[in-house]
Protein backbone atom coordinates (compact mmCIF):
# COMPACT_ATOMS: atom_id res chain seq x y z
CA UNK A 1 0.00 0.00 0.00
CA UNK A 2 1.25 3.46 -0.90
CA UNK A 3 2.11 5.89 1.87
CA UNK A 4 2.07 8.93 -0.38
CA UNK A 5 -0.03 11.83 0.88
CA UNK A 6 -3.74 11.59 0.25
CA UNK A 7 -5.14 13.86 -2.44
CA UNK A 8 -8.30 15.57 -1.20
CA UNK A 9 -9.45 18.50 -3.37
CA UNK A 10 -11.91 21.10 -2.12
CA UNK A 11 -14.96 21.88 -4.28
CA UNK A 12 -16.29 25.43 -3.88
CA UNK A 13 -19.92 24.86 -4.73
CA UNK A 14 -21.30 28.23 -5.79
CA UNK A 15 -20.55 30.69 -8.60
CA UNK A 16 -22.43 33.55 -6.87
CA UNK A 17 -20.88 37.02 -7.07
CA UNK A 18 -19.91 38.07 -3.55
CA UNK A 19 -20.02 34.52 -2.25
CA UNK A 20 -19.01 34.14 1.40
CA UNK A 21 -18.21 30.50 0.73
CA UNK A 22 -15.06 31.65 -1.06
CA UNK A 23 -13.62 32.79 2.29
CA UNK A 24 -14.48 29.40 3.77
CA UNK A 25 -12.77 27.62 0.87
CA UNK A 26 -9.66 29.77 1.19
CA UNK A 27 -9.43 29.04 4.92
CA UNK A 28 -9.82 25.30 4.42
CA UNK A 29 -7.29 25.08 1.56
CA UNK A 30 -4.75 27.13 3.54
CA UNK A 31 -5.15 24.97 6.64
CA UNK A 32 -4.87 21.71 4.74
CA UNK A 33 -1.64 23.00 3.20
CA UNK A 34 -0.11 22.91 6.70
CA UNK A 35 -0.61 19.12 6.92
CA UNK A 36 1.94 16.70 5.52
CA UNK A 37 -0.51 13.80 5.08
CA UNK A 38 -2.81 15.55 2.57
CA UNK A 39 -2.41 17.42 -0.70
CA UNK A 40 -5.24 19.56 -1.93
CA UNK A 41 -6.34 21.97 -4.60
CA UNK A 42 -9.35 24.19 -5.07
CA UNK A 43 -12.02 23.25 -7.61
CA UNK A 44 -14.20 26.29 -8.26
CA UNK A 45 -17.55 25.57 -9.94
CA UNK A 46 -17.37 29.08 -11.40
CA UNK A 47 -14.35 28.24 -13.52
CA UNK A 48 -15.51 24.96 -15.03
CA UNK A 49 -17.26 25.60 -18.31
CA UNK A 50 -19.88 22.88 -18.51
CA UNK A 51 -22.84 23.35 -20.86
CA UNK A 52 -26.26 24.07 -19.36
CA UNK A 53 -28.22 22.66 -22.30
CA UNK A 54 -27.35 19.07 -21.38
CA UNK A 55 -26.60 17.05 -18.24
CA UNK A 56 -24.71 14.04 -16.98
CA UNK A 57 -21.60 12.26 -18.12
CA UNK A 58 -21.95 13.43 -21.74
CA UNK A 59 -20.76 16.89 -20.65
CA UNK A 60 -17.85 15.66 -18.52
CA UNK A 61 -15.07 18.23 -18.12
CA UNK A 62 -11.80 16.33 -18.75
CA UNK A 63 -9.84 18.21 -16.12
CA UNK A 64 -12.51 17.87 -13.41
CA UNK A 65 -12.86 14.19 -14.27
CA UNK A 66 -9.09 13.62 -14.02
CA UNK A 67 -8.87 15.49 -10.71
CA UNK A 68 -11.68 13.45 -9.15
CA UNK A 69 -10.21 10.25 -10.59
CA UNK A 70 -6.90 11.05 -8.88
CA UNK A 71 -8.58 12.05 -5.60
CA UNK A 72 -8.73 9.85 -2.51
CA UNK A 73 -11.47 11.99 -1.05
CA UNK A 74 -13.36 15.24 -1.54
CA UNK A 75 -14.44 18.18 0.54
CA UNK A 76 -17.59 19.87 -0.70
CA UNK A 77 -18.32 23.43 0.41
CA UNK A 78 -22.03 23.94 -0.05
CA UNK A 79 -23.83 27.17 0.79
CA UNK A 80 -27.46 26.69 1.73
CA UNK A 81 -29.78 28.06 -0.96
CA UNK A 82 -33.48 27.73 -0.07
CA UNK A 83 -32.57 24.82 2.19
CA UNK A 84 -30.91 23.00 -0.72
CA UNK A 85 -27.64 22.94 -2.65
CA UNK A 86 -26.69 25.31 -5.48
CA UNK A 87 -27.89 23.98 -8.82
CA UNK A 88 -24.50 24.41 -10.46
CA UNK A 89 -22.84 22.24 -7.80
CA UNK A 90 -25.24 19.39 -8.53
CA UNK A 91 -24.87 19.94 -12.29
CA UNK A 92 -21.10 19.58 -11.97
CA UNK A 93 -21.25 16.57 -9.64
CA UNK A 94 -23.60 14.82 -12.09
CA UNK A 95 -20.94 14.88 -14.83
CA UNK A 96 -18.92 12.09 -13.18
CA UNK A 97 -19.75 8.72 -11.67
CA UNK A 98 -17.10 6.01 -11.67
CA UNK A 99 -14.55 8.63 -10.60
CA UNK A 100 -16.24 8.90 -7.15
CA UNK A 101 -16.76 5.27 -6.29
CA UNK A 102 -15.37 4.11 -2.91
CA UNK A 103 -13.90 7.51 -2.09
CA UNK A 104 -14.50 9.55 1.04
CA UNK A 105 -16.31 12.86 1.24
CA UNK A 106 -16.56 15.50 3.95
CA UNK A 107 -19.34 18.08 3.79
CA UNK A 108 -19.10 21.71 4.78
CA UNK A 109 -22.31 23.73 5.08
CA UNK A 110 -22.31 27.52 4.86
CA UNK A 111 -25.28 29.73 5.65
CA UNK A 112 -26.38 33.20 6.60
CA UNK A 113 -28.75 31.64 9.12
CA UNK A 114 -28.27 29.97 12.48
CA UNK A 115 -28.12 26.37 11.31
CA UNK A 116 -24.78 26.61 9.47
CA UNK A 117 -25.92 24.80 6.37
CA UNK A 118 -27.26 21.78 8.27
CA UNK A 119 -30.16 21.50 5.85
CA UNK A 120 -28.03 21.62 2.72
CA UNK A 121 -25.84 18.89 4.21
CA UNK A 122 -28.88 16.71 4.94
CA UNK A 123 -30.00 17.21 1.35
CA UNK A 124 -26.58 16.32 -0.03
CA UNK A 125 -26.32 13.02 1.86
CA UNK A 126 -28.53 10.93 -0.46
CA UNK A 127 -26.77 12.46 -3.48
CA UNK A 128 -23.38 11.42 -2.08
CA UNK A 129 -24.59 7.88 -1.56
CA UNK A 130 -25.93 7.62 -5.10
CA UNK A 131 -22.59 8.85 -6.49
CA UNK A 132 -20.74 6.09 -4.64
CA UNK A 133 -19.04 8.45 -2.20
CA UNK A 134 -18.67 7.49 1.47
CA UNK A 135 -19.60 10.27 3.87
CA UNK A 136 -17.86 10.84 7.19
CA UNK A 137 -19.95 11.42 10.32
CA UNK A 138 -18.48 14.80 11.22
CA UNK A 139 -19.44 17.93 9.25
CA UNK A 140 -18.22 21.51 9.18
CA UNK A 141 -20.82 24.23 9.71
CA UNK A 142 -20.21 27.92 9.10
CA UNK A 143 -23.12 29.64 10.85
CA UNK A 144 -23.99 33.34 10.27
CA UNK A 145 -21.10 33.33 7.82
CA UNK A 146 -21.40 37.06 7.04
CA UNK A 147 -20.15 37.75 10.60
CA UNK A 148 -17.24 35.27 10.63
CA UNK A 149 -14.69 36.99 8.38
CA UNK A 150 -13.04 40.40 8.45
CA UNK A 151 -12.80 42.74 5.47
CA UNK A 152 -9.73 40.92 4.17
CA UNK A 153 -11.56 37.60 4.25
CA UNK A 154 -9.76 36.26 7.33
CA UNK A 155 -11.60 34.32 10.01
CA UNK A 156 -12.09 36.39 13.16
CA UNK A 157 -12.26 33.42 15.55
CA UNK A 158 -9.65 31.35 13.72
CA UNK A 159 -8.71 29.03 16.60
CA UNK A 160 -12.25 27.69 17.02
CA UNK A 161 -12.47 26.79 13.36
CA UNK A 162 -8.95 25.34 13.26
CA UNK A 163 -10.00 22.94 16.06
CA UNK A 164 -13.16 21.93 14.21
CA UNK A 165 -11.33 21.55 10.92
CA UNK A 166 -8.66 19.35 12.55
CA UNK A 167 -11.34 17.01 13.90
CA UNK A 168 -13.07 16.93 10.51
CA UNK A 169 -9.78 16.35 8.65
CA UNK A 170 -8.63 13.60 11.00
CA UNK A 171 -11.84 11.69 10.34
CA UNK A 172 -11.66 12.35 6.59
CA UNK A 173 -8.02 11.22 6.46
CA UNK A 174 -8.90 8.01 8.33
CA UNK A 175 -11.78 7.22 5.97
CA UNK A 176 -9.78 8.16 2.87
CA UNK A 177 -6.88 5.96 4.01
CA UNK A 178 -9.12 2.98 4.67
CA UNK A 179 -10.86 3.36 1.33
CA UNK A 180 -7.57 3.77 -0.54
CA UNK A 181 -6.40 0.53 1.07
CA UNK A 182 -9.65 -1.13 0.04
CA UNK A 183 -9.47 0.09 -3.57
CA UNK A 184 -5.87 -1.17 -3.84
CA UNK A 185 -6.10 -4.44 -1.90
CA UNK A 186 -9.63 -5.76 -1.76
CA UNK A 187 -11.02 -7.48 -4.83
CA UNK A 188 -14.55 -6.78 -5.86
C1 LIG B 1 -30.71 31.83 -3.70
C2 LIG B 1 -30.30 31.91 -2.25
C3 LIG B 1 -31.02 31.20 -1.31
C4 LIG B 1 -30.64 31.24 0.05
N5 LIG B 1 -31.31 30.47 0.96
C6 LIG B 1 -30.85 30.42 2.24
C7 LIG B 1 -31.43 29.51 3.17
O8 LIG B 1 -32.30 28.74 2.86
N9 LIG B 1 -30.95 29.50 4.45
C10 LIG B 1 -29.93 30.34 4.84
O11 LIG B 1 -29.52 30.30 6.00
N12 LIG B 1 -29.36 31.19 3.97
C13 LIG B 1 -29.79 31.24 2.68
N14 LIG B 1 -29.19 32.07 1.77
C15 LIG B 1 -28.07 32.91 2.22
C16 LIG B 1 -26.76 32.17 2.04
O17 LIG B 1 -26.67 31.14 3.00
C18 LIG B 1 -25.67 33.20 2.21
O19 LIG B 1 -25.55 33.90 0.98
C20 LIG B 1 -24.35 32.68 2.68
O21 LIG B 1 -23.44 33.76 2.62
C22 LIG B 1 -23.75 31.50 1.92
O23 LIG B 1 -23.86 31.63 0.54
P24 LIG B 1 -22.74 32.36 -0.40
O25 LIG B 1 -21.51 31.52 -0.39
O26 LIG B 1 -23.40 32.43 -1.73
O27 LIG B 1 -22.50 33.72 0.20
C28 LIG B 1 -29.55 32.06 0.44
C29 LIG B 1 -28.84 32.77 -0.54
C30 LIG B 1 -29.20 32.70 -1.87
C31 LIG B 1 -28.38 33.43 -2.90
Which residues approach ligand 1 with their CB closer than 6 A? 14, 16, 19-21, 79-83, 110-113, 145-146
d(CA 125, CA 73): 15
Average pLDDT, the chain: 97
**Is residue 28 within 8 Å of residue 34, measured between CB atoms?**
no
Beta strand 73-79 pairing with 10-12: parallel
Print the domain residue range for 66.
6-183
User: Given this model, what pLDDT does residue 142 score?
Assistant: 98
Q: Is residue 148 part of a domain?
A: yes
Confirm whether 29 is domain-assigned: yes
Percent pLDDT > 70 in the chain is 99
Q: Whose CA is nearest to atom 24 of ligand 1?
A: 19
Residue 109 lies in a domain: yes
* pLDDT of the residue at 2: 66
Domains: count for the chain: 1
* CATH number for the domain that contains residue 37: 3.40.50.360
Residues 65 and 97: their CA atoms lie apart, in Å, by 9
Q: Which protein residue's CA is at the shortest distance from atom 23 of ligand 1?
A: 79
Give the pLDDT confidence score for residue 3 in this predicted structure: 78
Q: Which of 111, 114, 142, 144 to mutate to test the pocket of ligand 1 (most atoms within 8 A of CB)?
A: 111
Rounded mean pLDDT, 2-14: 94
Rounded Cα gap, residues 76 and 94, in angstroms: 14
Q: 119-169, pLDDT tens digit by residue?
A: 999 999 999 999 999 999 999 999 999 999 999 999 999 999 999 999 999
Residue 188 in domain: no
pLDDT tops 80 at residue 4: yes
Q: What does the alpha-carbon distance between residue 10 and residue 44 come to, in Å, rounded to a whole number? A: 8
Distance 84 CA to ligand 1 centre (A): 9
Residue 1: inside a domain: no
pLDDT digits (tens, 9 = 90+) for 96-132: 999 999 999 999 999 999 999 999 999 999 999 999 9
- Residue 48 domain flag: yes
The pLDDT tens digits for 77-99 are 999 999 999 999 999 999 999 99
Q: What is the DSSP string of 102-167?
A: TEEEEEEEE-SSTTTTHHHHHHHHHHHHHHTEEE-S--EEETTGGGTB-TTS-BTTHHHHHHHHHH
Amino acid sequence: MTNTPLFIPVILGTPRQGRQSEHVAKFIVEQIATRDDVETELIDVRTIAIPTNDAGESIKDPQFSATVERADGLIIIAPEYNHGYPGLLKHLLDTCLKEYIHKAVGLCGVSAGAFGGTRVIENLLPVMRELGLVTIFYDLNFTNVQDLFDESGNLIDKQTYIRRLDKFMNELVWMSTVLRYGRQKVNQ
